[in-house]
A and B are shown apart, each in its own frame.
Chain A
Amino acid sequence: QQQVKQSPQSLIVQKGGISIINCAYENTAFDYFPWYQQFPGKGPALLIAIRPDVSEKKEGRFTISFNKSAKQFSLHIMDSQPGDSATYFCAAKRNNFNKFYFGSGTKLNVKP
């Protein structure tokens, strides 16, 4: 059973637009939800993360929205830029457990 489900699989957005990627999780014991950005030929890099005690976290153009009752969280990229073109992964983890569960990834293409 896939612990974290991510959608869409791919996304095309015009420069300056808003990119939205969604994730849903099963395990209510998860308490840490990061988003990773991966460029071709590189390892994933932490972008932004949230814990379930807040409903939203914003860092620059990147915002995580978290809905605990729906067991969903999403990444919003405002004013999307061609340099944002990458694959994005959501993930989830339980406190004091060492295993991160990753979504299947969303390939974002921002058109100039």
Chain B
Amino acid sequence: ETGVTQSPTHLIKTRGQQVTLRCSSQSGHNTVSWYQQALGQGPQFIFQYYREEENGRGNFPPRFSGLQFPNYSSELNVNALELDDSALYLCASSLKEQGSDGELFFGEGSRLTVL
């Protein structure tokens, strides 16, 4: 059973650029959630994808967007990068059954630095 994998592990961008982060969910999981973890802070919910549609969103602006693919993998896109977007971006997969969310299994994250 493969776990959650994320790519790239580290990247550096400049303000105003766009970034795409990728996530492969754990085998058997149908739901992907994205969290932003600023240095020294707890993860903050960005959004969740289920059945290829956004299924809930946290307090993040529209320049944060995502996709989920038929194989349940996912992308997080951030446009017009700002310095405050520098953070560890965590992908977590879970199995949603009968409307109830299962446990979150996190990947190791993508460390984004915006200069």
Binding site for B on A (CB under 8 A): 4, 6, 34, 36, 41-46, 49, 89, 91, 93, 95-105
* 15 pairs, CB–CB < 8 Å, chain A vs chain B: A34-B103, A42-B108, A46-B105, A89-B42, A89-B43, A96-B99, A96-B100, A97-B101, A98-B33, A98-B101, A100-B33, A102-B43, A104-B42, A105-B41, A105-B42
Q: Are A41 and B108 in contact (CB under 8 A)?
A: yes
Residue of A nearest to B111 (CB): A41
Verify if B77 is at the interface (C-beta below 8 Å from A): no
Complex partner residue of A43 from B31, B48, B109, CB under 8 angstroms: B109
Residue of A nearest to B56 (CB): A98
Q: How far is the CA of A96 from the CA of B98 in the complex (A)?
A: 9
Q: How far is the CA of A93 from the CA of B43 in the complex (A)?
A: 13
Q: Are A100 and B100 in contact (CB under 8 A)?
A: no
Q: How far is the CA of A104 from the CA of B98 in the complex (A)?
A: 31
Count of chain B residues with Cβ under 8 Å from any Cβ of A? 28
Verify if B62 is at the interface (C-beta below 8 Å from A): no
Verify if B71 is at the interface (C-beta below 8 Å from A): no
**With A46-B103, A96-B99 known to touch, is A102 a contact of B42 (CB < 8 Å)?**
yes
Q: How far is the CA of A49 from the CA of B56 in the complex (A)?
A: 23
Binding site for A on B (CB under 8 A): 4, 31, 33, 35, 40-45, 48, 50, 55-56, 58, 90, 92, 96, 99-101, 103-109
Chain B residues in 8 Å Cβ range of A91: 42
Chain B residues in 8 Å Cβ range of A95: 100
Q: How far is the CA of A36 from the CA of B44 in the complex (A)?
A: 14
**With A97-B56, A103-B42, A105-B41 known to touch, is A43 a contact of B99 (CB < 8 Å)?**
no
Complex partner residue of A99 from B40, B41, B45, CB under 8 angstroms: B45
Residue of B nearest to A101 (CB): B45
Chain A residues in 8 Å Cβ range of B33: 98, 100
Q: Are A43 and B106 in contact (CB under 8 A)?
A: yes
Residue of A nearest to B107 (CB): A43
Residue of B nearest to A41 (CB): B108
